[in-house]
Amino acid sequence: MTNQVLKITATVQQNSDDGREAGSSTWNIGGNSSGIITFGNYTETQTAAFRFRGIDIPQFSKIFLARLKLRPAVSDGGDFTVNLKIKGIKEPDPAPFKSDGSNRPSTRNKTVNSVDWDIIKKWNVHEWVQTPNLNLIVEELVAQTNWRPGNAITFVIEDDGSPSDQSKTCFDFSKGDGYQAELEIYYLPQGLHEQITVGFIQGNDRDGEEDYKTTWYPSGYQNNMTTFGDDGSLDPNESSNDAGFIFSPISLPQGVEILSAKLLVTSPIQNNGHANILIKGIAENDATVFQSDGSNRPSLRSKTVSEVQWNTGHAEAGVLIGDHWTAESVYESPELKEVIQEIIDRPGWVGSKLGIILENYFSGHGNTKYIWDYNQDSGKYAPQLVIAWTRERRVTTRDKDVEVYNKANYPEFIIVHHSATPRDNTYFQTIKKAHIGYGWDDIGYHRWIAGALDGDGVLILGRPDNQIGAHCDSNKMNYRSLGVVLCGNFHNSETPTVAQLATLQTALDELRQERGIPKERVFGHGEVPESATNCPGNALLPYVQNYRTTGSLQ
């Protein structure tokens, strides 16, 4: 298990990798004569196809987020409706399209999973658009029997009942670099305990807009659009617009580790606003829905300590400008895992409704972003919260080491852990590099008891005993304990080897003698008060508990 979400990107690479099919018989391998691909209903139904090569994702991976990015080739004359359905070609390594159309999209098998893309606003030429989340389509494709990393993936965008002569366009590969379709996929390699949870807005009492910290609009301010940022209507210090969301069902057990979390929102209009906000969680165990009278609007709720800044702008030639959002495109927030982790680590978390607030943070006066409110088409375009998580929690904090962590350690306790990684397929150096990657100075533990790759039961020194650990932040244990870890996943998975247990016995005996620590102060990680973790696992914990009673693991 990697305990992190990975990303892969790809672009259409050859002219045989995209095109359009008109009706069910005419295949244009380069789009029309101007290198334009049409999809929707233009004199007849039009299907777009995009093939991406070299998708280096392991079989059975969990897909967190996947989306296509296209550049429109024509500015629409106005707003109109185009109803589309996105599918994958259900082949483990789909072949390029032939110029004679003999393997055009309508002749190929498609995925069971599909995604509706209903567009009701105009597009402008050259401005990137982004599809909804295609994760279930990609997950179905990489689960095929003969799927191998490096194979290709092909998507088709079919008409799904668009009104007559209502269509959209994008540039074909032949337009050149920077114009061809792009694919982004965030994924988790196959593991025993990784899961993806998606939270939805389930009613009009679950989202809305708060203006100037005083007034709550359950359906957004106007036209079912929720605003966040600074709309410039009042004095700059009093002109904030905040958004609030309650997502459900969030079926996360208490104590799991959040690997990644993103808020996905759909823009209703073209917008270049440069909103700067703080994203916070509502610090409630089962977030109550918003009252229409505003009596529990966002500014009146308790918030998480964790917060994430979302600056929807960038600098060009030293000038700050807003990022362009296009109509009907889906955008994601920065990483929110620390915010979500804080909520589900609350002692009374019950795993149901979870609240998120987008709070104005000194946006430029008159700079806002807009997203669709639930009230638009009964939630079809409402925000979603996507969370990747694992039951095997390895760490309870990934905060960067600070200077205080390097002061002398005066241990009064010994805390026993498991690495929550495969016992005989994990190197000490792999975990050490991962911990340093968090920004820590060293591996978080003081002792490592190896599995097969480093020698079954071999004791390896971690961070020096006189340095504060980074293995158990509950009850300030990092400041007053030594961390000993056994390589392995000992919760509902593996068992420690005889050699590992023998080394653990020796290590505990020697550390206790050196430090004068009584056996009653040897704990499993999860036994430390306020530690929300299964570590060291149900196959190792009984040995630790027996040691605490008798001085022997057995």
Name, in order, each residue with C-beta under 8 angstroms of 21's C-beta and a sequence gap of 6 or more. Answer: 27, 28, 46, 47, 49, 101, 104, 105, 106
Per-residue tens of pLDDT for the chain, all 554 residues: 456 788 999 999 999 999 999 998 899 998 887 889 999 999 999 999 999 999 999 999 999 999 999 999 999 999 999 999 999 999 999 999 999 999 999 999 999 999 999 999 999 999 999 999 999 999 999 999 999 999 999 999 999 999 999 999 999 999 999 999 999 999 988 765 678 999 999 999 999 999 999 999 999 988 999 999 998 887 766 789 999 999 999 989 887 889 899 999 999 999 999 999 999 999 999 999 999 999 999 999 999 999 999 999 876 766 668 889 999 999 999 999 999 999 999 989 988 999 999 999 888 888 999 999 999 999 999 999 999 998 776 555 545 444 444 455 678 999 999 988 889 888 898 888 878 777 788 899 999 999 999 999 999 999 988 888 888 888 888 888 999 999 999 988 899 999 999 999 999 999 999 888 999 999 999 999 888 788 999 999 999 999 999 999 98
- Tokens 């007053």, residue? 480
Within a domain: 410 = yes
**Which pLDDT score is estimated for 40?**
97
CATH of the domain at 488: 3.40.80.10
In this structure, the answer to whether residues 493 and 380 fall within a common structural domain is no
* Domain C-terminal end among 191, 213, 238: 191
In this structure, the answer to whether residues 130 and 279 fall within a common structural domain is no
Within a domain: 130 = yes
Paired sense of beta strands 413-418 and 522-524, if any: parallel
**Which pLDDT score is estimated for 402?**
45
In this structure, the answer to whether residues 250 and 384 fall within a common structural domain is yes
Q: Are 240 and 228 in contact (CB under 8 A)?
A: no
Within a domain: 478 = yes
Helix, coil or strand: residue 301: coil
Strand ranges (E), 212-287: 215-217, 225-230, 240-247, 257-266, 276-282
In this structure, the answer to whether residues 164 and 273 fall within a common structural domain is no
- Tokens 């505003």, residue? 294
Distance (Å, whole) CA 487 – CA 417: 9
**Which pLDDT score is estimated for 291?**
97
In this structure, the answer to whether residues 26 and 83 fall within a common structural domain is yes
Distance (Å, whole) CA 272 – CA 277: 15
**Which pLDDT score is estimated for 405?**
42
Instruction: Identify whether 529 is preceded by a cis peptide bond (ω within 30 of 0).
Output: no
What letter represents residue 139's amino acid? E
CATH of the domain at 93: 2.60.120
In this structure, the answer to whether residues 256 and 383 fall within a common structural domain is yes
Distance (Å, whole) CA 50 – CA 182: 9
Q: Are 458 and 450 in contact (CB under 8 A)?
A: yes
- The count of domains in the chain is 3
The residue range of the domain holding 429 is 403-550
**Which pLDDT score is estimated for 396?**
54
In this structure, the answer to whether residues 138 and 92 fall within a common structural domain is yes
Within a domain: 395 = no
Within a domain: 396 = no
**Which pLDDT score is estimated for 47?**
97
Within a domain: 119 = yes
Distance (Å, whole) CA 389 – CA 5: 10
In this structure, the answer to whether residues 62 and 141 fall within a common structural domain is yes
Instruction: Identify whether 249 is preceded by a cis peptide bond (ω within 30 of 0).
Output: yes
Name, in order, each residue with C-beta under 8 angstroms of 305's C-beta and a sequence gap of 6 or more. Answer: 342
In this structure, the answer to whether residues 184 and 205 fall within a common structural domain is no
In this structure, the answer to whether residues 175 and 229 fall within a common structural domain is no
In this structure, the answer to whether residues 419 and 378 fall within a common structural domain is no
In this structure, the answer to whether residues 449 and 528 fall within a common structural domain is yes
**How far lies 504's CA from each of 195, 422, 457, 547, in Å?**
32, 18, 8, 10
